[in-house]
Structure 1
Amino acid sequence: MEPLGTCTALLLIGTISLLLLSAIWNSKMYRKGRMPPGPTPLPIVGNVLQLKGKQWDEVFSKISEKYGPMFTLYLGTEPVVVLYGYEAIKEALIDQGNDFSARAKVPLVEKIYKGKGIIFSSGESWQLIRHFTLTTLRNFGMGKKSIEERIQEEARYLLEQLHGTKGQPFDPHHLVTYATYNVICSIIFGKRYGYDDKRFQDLFALCEDNVKIFTSVCGKLFNVFPALMEWVPGPHHRMVTNFAKFREIVLEEAKEHRATLDPNSPRDFIDCFFIRMDQEKHDEASAFTMENMVICSLDFFGAGTESTSSTLKYGLLILQKFPEIEEKVQEEIDRVVGRSRMPGMADRGQMPYTDAVIHEIQRFISFSSVGVPHAMVKDTLFRGYTIPKGTTIFPVLTSALHDDKEFPNPKEFDPGHFLNEDGTFRKSDYFIPFSAGKRNCAGEGLARMELFLFFTSILQNFKLKPTTDPKDIDITPLEKPTIRFPRPYKFCVIPR
């Protein structure tokens, strides 16, 4: 039996056994106190069956019609408070941001991270590492080359690869994903790799495999029933092995960096981390350790590659379906940038239509419908309910991005959602694809820069040619509960 079948079968047997052996139902399920109301959970499994095989944000939308913008669900025996709608999300993550700033425990991630890094850490360590990372990205610019220059360098290489397709149909998955991976490699390691480099290929394979495992059936089940799934064979056990291999790659790079480190001229994130480590070498409680360096590097690859590459791939697919929008973007690029130089971030302010299209791509696809779950720092009174310390919080980002009052016809792709009547760019507080508040994505600025520079560079040089009639292009996402991946496709790029 294949691992996935084994995983599902053993889970079913285990669940039935637990149901039969449970003479007394876990009372924690009913100790709601003043928690928000929600649909009645089943013993042991909670509300999991209501979510099975569905887009979670669509399920949450229907539940919110009955229970309002705040309700409680149970994933197994663990309560989760769901925030649905911009106002509830804003009130929690921004107005009471300190209370909602802890990170929820995700069992499959916790096996690897152990509370370290940027994304899945909490408390003082998280604050120190996040501040260090933001400061490094924002003010330092990553050494002798600015981040913008690093992205432009990778864009040139990507354009060469696209020219190499010679107008023939190809799947953009690897090329686009390699480009985003190399941007992260440049920031962390201070260098880009050839796409056929063995270390680069190993790094890519490990990270991509972990994404597949995390979004698999076994990965999701582990996060709901970790004690049971520890005994169930399946691909979820491979994540620990993958991390060990990833750690070896980072430590090899770190060893080379340590040998050539110049504290007065840091080249990249690892150099900056080493300098901070040396400054705090006498502090036994310092958060700046080799293990945290490795986990932070994993965070960069986890948060800074899949979401950006999927948005790029999805955006290129959407523009094939709407060639008139592609043409308007190219007209604006030709008018503002021309063909003799690469687009730069300074151009964005003069390109409102292009900026609106990129925002609309992010809004329309809503790549991560609930973002990374939050948790309560302490027992907190919120909207008349008491949410206990440690309770997991799901802010449904799609509920803001698809709000029909802020974005008329939210299910339709329309750059006009981000344009004023006079054609200038229109900002919206509801645009929160990177979440909001104290735990918004630390790499938001980097991602926005990559999306603008990659999109404009490609459209400056190529016309997108679909392999089917545009009206037949399917832009609905693959069926994943909380993440929207584009469907695989092939297309052609024709030099302009």
Structure 2
Amino acid sequence: MGVGKKLMESQIEMEAKHLVESFACTKGQPCDPMLPITNAVSNVICALAYGYRFSPEDEVFKEKLKSVDYVTKNATSVSAVLYETFPWLMQHLPGSHQKLLEILKKEISFAMMEIEKHREHQDKYEPQDIIDFYLLQMEKSKNDPTSTYSDDNLAQFINDLLIAGTETSATSLQWALLLMVSYPDIQDKVYKEIEEVLASSESFSYQDHKKLPYTNAVIHEILRARYILLFGLPRECVKDVTIRGFHIPKGTFIISDLRSVLLDPEHWETPEKFNPHHFLDKDGHFIAGDEFLPFGAGARLCLGDQLAKMEMFLFFTHLLRIFKFQLPEGVKALNTEPIFGFTLHPHPYKICAVPRST
């Protein structure tokens, strides 16, 4: 599919323009950025999976976003954790996990319908999206008894991709705008750099991040200082291993504490403070060491690593080039502390997107 390549970049670019239009419609009045940001990010995933985007007014799309929001806010509830631990018992008991299961079944059903639609037209055009390529691979491996390609696995994969791919990048972008309003001097420096370097360009690409060291540093610092997970996702140890004298048996579930690395005072000058200079050398050149691990590392690096980086850069630069984001009249400051859940997202807030004169 070219995740992280030109194909995906064009899709993100289109959604970035739709996002700019959404903010332009507010005419500088106070607005909650959560919905337009979530619409844009989710549509990137929908285009990747289904081959098309949704209109923000589409009722099916609205329900999908509500489902994603409910799942991410309740996936770590006591009821949900108990279900993961004792499914044979909890499936018979009431709780928020029952609504979670209902939502997930509904999304799986939608994915199954999309799979059937794609199968009907499979021979009429070249593969365009994940479903197309997956069905093609299913056909190639249909005589392989060890193959795990199936409609069920595809539907589940699409569901996972939609939830994970929407919540993570959308939350990071919400933090980005909140921090730019909270640190207007940093926002002004980003805008100045973008204008100086890209003033003559009608559009720009992800590769332009190499020309914008300060902007790149700000984006990396957003991902570090407002890392959206409490801890890494569980992984299973596939063989006995000893690391630094600790024996970890095969079958052990490992949860990595990435946050401890991102806030380690041995690696960061001011770990608890938002400081873009963590990623700049004394000459203003961009630097990122091995301790920058918001996407994990090694063979289990986040599948959406490149996609997320492209989204952050293209959405962020498009918005800051067109608008100056500021506090509504009478508001002195926004709450920069996170709300704890499956992800650490900001408290609801409103900002003004004021069009720049240029």
Q: TM-score, normalised by structure 1?
A: 0.68
Aligned to 1:205: 66
The answer to whether the aligner puts 1:137 opposite 2:2 as a matched pair is yes
CA contact (8 A) 1:199 1:249 kept: no
CA contact (8 A) 1:213 1:235 kept: yes
Aligned to 2:145: 284
CA distance in 2, matches of 1:180, 1:305: 6
SS of equivalent to 1:137: coil
Query: How far is 1:200 from its partner?
Result: 1.5
The answer to whether the aligner puts 1:483 opposite 2:348 as a matched pair is no
Aligned to 1:494: 354
Percentage identity across aligned positions?
Answer: 37
State which of 188, 191, 195 in structure 1 corresponds to 2:49.
188
CA contact (8 A) 1:320 1:470 kept: no
In the superposition, relative to structure 1, how do residues 388 and 297 fare at CA in structure 2: closer, same or farther (>3 Å)? same
Rg (Cα) greater in structure: 1
CA contact (8 A) 2:232 2:296 kept: yes
In the superposition, relative to structure 1, how do residues 339 and 367 fare at CA in structure 2: closer, same or farther (>3 Å)? farther
Deviations 1:103-135 (A, max 9, x none): xxxxxxxxxxxxxxxxxxxxxxxxxxxxxxxxx
Gaps of 5+ in 1: 1-135
In the superposition, relative to structure 1, how do residues 390 and 273 fare at CA in structure 2: closer, same or farther (>3 Å)? same
Query: How far is 1:413 from its partner?
Result: 0.4
Aligned to 2:79: 218
In the superposition, relative to structure 1, how do residues 216 and 254 fare at CA in structure 2: closer, same or farther (>3 Å)? same
- Which aligned pairs between 1:81-480 and structure 2 lie closer than 5 A? 136-138=1-3, 146-224=7-85, 226=87, 229-262=90-123, 265-338=126-199, 341-467=202-328, 472-480=333-341
CA contact (8 A) 1:376 1:388 kept: yes
Deviations 1:352-375 (A, max 9, x none): 100000000000011113121122
CA distance in 2, matches of 1:495, 1:161: 12
Query: How far is 1:242 from its partner?
Result: 1.4
- Aligned partner letter, 1:429: D
- Aligned partner letter, 1:261: Q
SS of equivalent to 2:326: strand
- Aligned partner letter, 2:140: Q
SS of equivalent to 1:467: coil
CA contact (8 A) 2:237 2:249 kept: yes
CA distance in 2, matches of 1:374, 1:255: 32
Deviations 1:409-464 (A, max 9, x none): 10000000000111110111011111111111111100100000000000011000
Query: How far is 1:469 from its partner?
Result: 7.3
SS of equivalent to 1:281: coil
Q: TM-score, normalised by structure 2?
A: 0.94
CA distance in 2, matches of 1:257, 1:227: 35
- Aligned partner letter, 2:289: S
CA distance in 2, matches of 1:249, 1:156: 28
Q: CA RMSD in A?
A: 2.0
- Aligned partner letter, 1:159: V
- Aligned partner letter, 1:491: I
In the superposition, relative to structure 1, how do residues 470 and 345 fare at CA in structure 2: closer, same or farther (>3 Å)? farther
CA contact (8 A) 2:327 2:333 kept: no
SS of equivalent to 1:287: coil
SS of equivalent to 1:488: coil
CA contact (8 A) 2:334 2:349 kept: no
Greater Cα offset, 392-401 or 449-458: 392-401
CA distance in 1, matches of 2:96, 2:246: 39
- Aligned partner letter, 1:366: Y
In the superposition, relative to structure 1, how do residues 225 and 275 fare at CA in structure 2: closer, same or farther (>3 Å)? closer
CA distance in 2, matches of 1:469, 1:427: 38
Query: How far is 1:176 from its partner?
Result: 0.6
Gaps of 5+ in 2: none
